[in-house]
A and B are shown apart, each in its own frame.
Chain A
Amino acid sequence: MATLTGRRGSFAATRGEIRKRRIIDRLMVGSMIAVTALVCSVLFIIIAYIFYRGVSYINWEFLTSNPRPVGSEGGGIVNAIVGSLILVGIASVMAVPVGVGAAIFIGEFPSPRLQRAVRFMADVLTGVPSIVVGLFAYALIVEPTGTFSGWAGSAALGFIIVPIVLITAQEALRLVPGSLREAALALGVPRWRVIMLVVVPAARRALLTGLILATARALGETAPLIFTTLGNNFWNTDPSRPLSALPLVIYRYAVGPYQEEHRQAWAAAFMLLAVVFFISLMTRVVFRSRYEE
């Protein structure tokens, strides 16, 4: 009738007690496996439906033509695909230098106060709802210029990318061993060349992973685009006017009343999801070594 006594309670060790404790253990493990399986199956169910509903509508016409007037059959999303690429492209060009540059500064130069402030701000910014970022871009650009535009949409997306790039870039630079910097500095190389030619190349895999994943995230953002770039039913590549975007099309078509638009929403969702997953899968395969470390 031995009893093991721990600080936080006792582990009774009669035969019946042991059996009871074992059963509880099994039950808990079982329920953990069950909830993990639940999470996985939810993912599979969502992907399966997007595939099942979306893939049958995809054809050459859908991918290469502009939308038809509301309510009529056919038409496509080529303007939305091009619009999304332009929006995300401009956003990345604006946001990546800011994020990486700020990360280099707070990672490579001694400035504890600014470092803590910037890092803390970046952490907080990742939690700002994307719809609020949309309001920000509206008040900052749409209202003063008096027109919805691709620029405003890009600015909103860029604002979402900056903190993500900053955080991943800082983590990436931290993984570069200090001895590498010291070795280069000892050779008399100027500090900026040490950073640009030694530190950044050494961290390039993790840096690129962060950049690409941030871009993929921006590709799927909808809320900040609704009242900045607005959407457009016609072909347009001029960012000073409203641009169409893939996620906007999915939203508008899904909440609209037309069957034909619902089918197109599923097909557009399939396209978007395929691109996002393809990007993140490729990053994983190409930059695998980061995960093996």
Chain B
Amino acid sequence: MEVGDMGLPKPVARESVESLRSSKSLTPTRRSHLSDRIFFHVTRSLAVLVLILSLLLVFELLRGSAEARAEFGIGFIWGTTWDPVAEQFSTLPTITGTLAKAFLSLLIAVPVSLGTAIFLAIYAPRWIRTPLSYIVESLASIPSVIIGLWGLFIMVPVVRVLQIWLKDNFGWFPLFSGPAIFGVGVLAAGIILAIMITPIIAAISRDVIRTVPRAQMEGLLALGATRWEAIWKVVLPYGRAGIIGAVILGLGRAVGETMAVTMVGGNAFKLVTSLFDPVHSMASQIASEFTEADSNLYVSSLIYVGLVLFAITVVIEIVAQLMIWRITKGQGEARHQA
């Protein structure tokens, strides 16, 4: 999947398409050819089917989690027990675990991906730009189970050494107070997630930065600013909404990412207190426990966890799409009027 294509409409001259579309005569009427009417209705029902499928997704999640919702109600979200034997389920620790891993990954990924994006969009000479973009996008196309495999066997031992070193030297710092023996845990999951979301944030930010008019930057350069000053004072403020949107999109991916996190996250059900804690995230809990769930209430509770995860990611996704749209759409309208 090419990441740059995901959320950003490409700017194209579409005046003639627009005028074609706005004419009502294209909607088949009674007098149209029969085949035209059939084609119209077939494609329209496919478009409607996409909407129906989305609603069906929400409906099935609600139906599947009905038993758990009736049993535990909204308190499911802030309770801290997960006891399959006593059939008591609630999920605050996995929510906090998920968010801890996701925010840690943003902390690592944002500077790296913005640096890469600016370099690719502004500094990199043409001959190196295309291969570099290809490399960044290739990183995004590695299946997450493969990243997880690599993380589990290659990265986790390195993280473990890092943990021990941090514990020995900065053990007084509360975030480094956990057990430094496992390797797997919040830190490892955060790094793995950072590797996975960096190409996404970088590719979208690069596209956003490219929409900044060149003249804006050249104006500042002509006034004697250095390149970095031009970037800092013009390019980044101009693209701010889109870049923040890209970061939020990355956050959404980090929250919902499953396989790699399941493999290096540690998967213990406890409230996260330090960077070294092995803790579940919502997705890893579903992935690792679902096939072992032996009662209806257990299955239903896991689907409830999925419903909460779905709600969180959808909110994140909508906010991100709106922010990315605002900048690129404004562009499109400006082009249209010009």
Residues of A within 8 A of B (CB): 4, 6, 8-9, 11, 13, 21-22, 24-25, 28-29, 31-36, 38-40, 42-43, 45-46, 49-50, 53, 97-99, 101-102, 104-106, 108-111, 114, 117-118, 120-133, 135-136, 138-140, 143, 159, 162-164, 166-168, 171, 174-175, 177-179, 181-182, 190-193, 195, 210, 213-214, 216-217, 219-223, 226-227, 230, 247, 250-251, 254-255, 262, 265-266, 269, 272-273, 276-277, 280, 284, 291
Contacts and interface: CB of A to CB of B under 8 A. Distances in A.
B212 to A, nearest CB: 15
Interface stretch (B27-35, B74-82, B86-94, B174-182): B27-35
Given A36-B132, A220-B142, A254-B148, 20 more contacts: A4-B224, A11-B229, A21-B229, A42-B195, A46-B139, A46-B146, A108-B43, A110-B22, A123-B317, A127-B256, A128-B317, A131-B283, A135-B60, A135-B303, A136-B61, A175-B10, A182-B16, A191-B40, A251-B262, A291-B130
Closest 4 CB pairs of A and B: A220-B143, A129-B256, A178-B16, A101-B46
A174 B12 contact: yes
Contacts of A121: 50-51, 54
Given A121-B54, A132-B61, A190-B35, A109 B228 contact: no
A216 B35 CA distance: 35
29 contacts: A11-B229, A21-B229, A33-B123, A36-B119, A36-B120, A36-B132, A49-B150, A50-B150, A101-B42, A102-B47, A110-B22, A118-B50, A120-B321, A121-B51, A127-B249, A127-B256, A127-B313, A128-B57, A130-B256, A174-B10, A190-B33, A210-B5, A220-B144, A222-B143, A223-B258, A254-B263, A255-B152, A273-B142, A276-B142
Interface of B: 1-2, 5-7, 9-10, 12, 14-24, 26-28, 32-33, 35-36, 38-40, 42-44, 46-51, 53-54, 56-57, 60-61, 63-64, 111-113, 115-116, 118-120, 123-124, 130, 132, 134-136, 138-139, 141-150, 152-154, 195, 198-199, 202, 220, 223-229, 231, 233, 249, 252-253, 255-259, 262-263, 283, 286-287, 290-291, 302-303, 306, 309-310, 313-314, 316-318, 320-321
A227 to B, nearest CB: 5
Contact of A129 (B35, B54, B142, B313): B313
